[in-house]
Structure formats: structure tokens, C-alpha cells
Structure 1
């Protein structure tokens, strides 16, 4: 059995390729959620068909990029990360091949998941739950993992992608001197 190449966690960018990957990965999660008996988590309407979802996601990509470049944020330290796997195998189907990224050294990378984080922020539904409160000692120094999704269309190529994203986000938090890492 040939070992799969390692993952690369990178910053998502406000470009069409990253936007298309994120929206289509959300879409790909819906049949999976239905198959495990959880169709109500995100509903049945594809995200790509939900009004301004793509525009809102592009706006979030811009906020993430602005924060990465300037260190200032109007969106609670929003960062979006994409996990990729170097791809050497046979050609992919047309839908997935459109997501391949070719690096400057000609290596090809297939995005297999993404995550969205914020700094020192928790969603309202968590704040409203007394048993889920962030301890005072960690209230100003934490990363909150808001969303993590892997692309079910890539099959086994995504195996380990969640762990790679969590490791990358943990390392990012350490680089920002954060004391805690909270997961939704």
C-alpha cells in the first residue's frame, strides 16, 4: 500500500477558485449528512442555491485575508484555512479537477477541506448556554473553531484532513499567543 502524501494547510484567499471550492464543499456535505441521519443540520437546499451565500462567503474570504495581512479585523479575527493534499494520481472527474491548484514548482494540490476560525469570539447560541461558558482566565486569549468541513467527493483522500486542519489551527493559535482552542 502506497502512503498518501502529507497535507498542506494554507490560508484561503478571496479568489474564485477558493470560493468555488468552499461553496461546493458545503454542498457536498448535504448528501453525507442525510446519509448519516442528520439532514436537518444544514437542510437540503444546496448552499450554492441559497441567495447571497456565495457573496457572503466571498466577503468572509476578504475579511480573512485582510486580517492575515494587517492584523486588524472587523469580523472577530476571522480566518479561513484550506487543507490540501498533493495529488499525483490519475485524472479526476471534471468537477474535482477544476479545484486542483498548481504550485509554482508544478506540483498539483487537491483541496480536501476547510475550516473557519475566529479569535476571542463565540456564537450567540453558545453564549446563551450557561454550561458552555468560556472560563474568565481564557476569555481574551482563544481561537474558536467555528466550522470544519471535508469534501466528501474526494473519498479516502480526505482521511486525516480534519486532524491536519486542527493541527494547523492549533499552531496558528500558538503563533498568536492564544491560551486555548475551543471547538464548536
Structure 2
């Protein structure tokens, strides 16, 4: 388990815990609402974005069915976090197959409230076409891929600035791993508004 606390002591970034058999437990980590696993938090953070996306005409980005109601999404995030957690014992951080999921938390009333999440990997997702990332690009070892970045709209103003601070954190740890490039992707619909 890796925890990074910012100098103010009011914000921390930590690796996500698997839904079962994690040590230390969320209660031991002083997480507010420890009954909501990190996997559930991530699913609900995505769920919380759906009404907002619909309100700006971008409902096609992630659809309208909550992630927490989709068995394939539940399985995807459960597996991703478990694999990331298992890889933490690997001494070659950033090596082949490495991935991690980071939670951004704010200190409120002596407990840590989860407000945002970012997933990082050293592999391109399968859906990225070869004309955008050919075999030589994919086989390179000088990059990380930002797979997930979402704030939990349930947390209101607590999430303000969290995505930007997560990106700064990702840049720092990527450089520490010797990575020079951070790839990512975004949805192209709704008149390219997200790209803009």
C-alpha cells in the first residue's frame, strides 16, 4: 500500500484497495464511509458523472446505465484493482504489465473522504486502434497511459482541483519511473467538446 500525503496534511493520494482481503482495511486507513469499498467508490464516481454528462448533451460518452449496474464494469474494476494491488510487491515499478489506481482523498472531520480516482498503466487499452498507436509505440517502455480519471460529483466542492492535482502527481511518479510520455484518450462525440 502506498500513501502520498501532501504538505498541507489535508490531502492524500493512495493506491486503491481490493474489495476483499485488503490490509490495512479502510477503517484502519480512517476512510469516511468504510463500508463502501474502493471498487464501489470508483463505480459510484462514474455513476455520479452520468447525469452531468446527460445535462450537457454527452450522455453517449458512457451511456445512461450506471456502471454499478453493469456486471462487466464491476468485474473490470475489481480485476484492475486486484491486479494493481498484487503488483505492488513487484520491485520493478513501471515494468511490463504494471498498473495502479490512485484515490484522491481530502481530510474532513478526522477522516479521509474519497473524491477522485485515476488509473494508470504501461499498456495501451485494446480499443486504441493501431493507426493511432502502432506496434513499435505500444512496445516502447518510455510511456504511461492514463486509463481513468473521474471526480465523484457526490463530493461537491471537495473535489475542486482534484483532477489537476492527480495529473501533477501522475507526472511526478511517471518521471520517477523513467517515463517521458503520458498518453490518454477522450470521447470524440458532442461536437468534440471534450477535446476542446
TM-score (normalizing by structure 2): 0.72
Q: CA RMSD in A?
A: 2.7
Residue equivalent to 2:25: none
Give, in angstroms, the shift of residue 114 of structure 1. 0.3
2:49 to 9, 29, 38: 29
For residues 59 and 164 of structure 1, the distance between their equivalents in structure 2, rounded to whole angstroms, comes to 26
Match of 1:118 in 2: 121
The equivalent of 1:81 in structure 2 is 102
**1:54-91 per-position Cα deviation (integer Å, ceiling 9, x unaligned):** 23311111101112222479983221110011113xxx
Tell me the CA shift for residue 133 of structure 1. Answer: 6.0
The answer to whether structure 1 residue 181 and structure 2 residue 166 are counterparts is no
Whether the 8 Å CA contact 2:68–2:74 is kept in 1: the answer is: yes
Q: Which residue of 2 aligns with 1:102?
A: none
The change in CA–CA distance for 1:33 and 1:156 in structure 2 (over 3 A counts) is same
**Structure 1: how far apart are the matches of 2:16 and 2:66?**
21
Q: Distance in 1 between matches of 2:50 and 2:168?
A: 25
Partner of 1:98: none
User: Runs of 4+ in structure 1 displaced over 2 angstroms?
Assistant: 4-7, 71-76, 123-130, 132-136
Ranges in structure 1 where 5+ consecutive residues have no aligned partner = 89-106
- Is there any run of 5+ residues in structure 2 with no aligned partner, and where? 1-7, 21-36, 186-196
Higher helix share: 1
Q: Residue 10 of structure 2 contacts residue 107 of structure 2 at CA under 8 Å; is this kept in 1?
A: yes
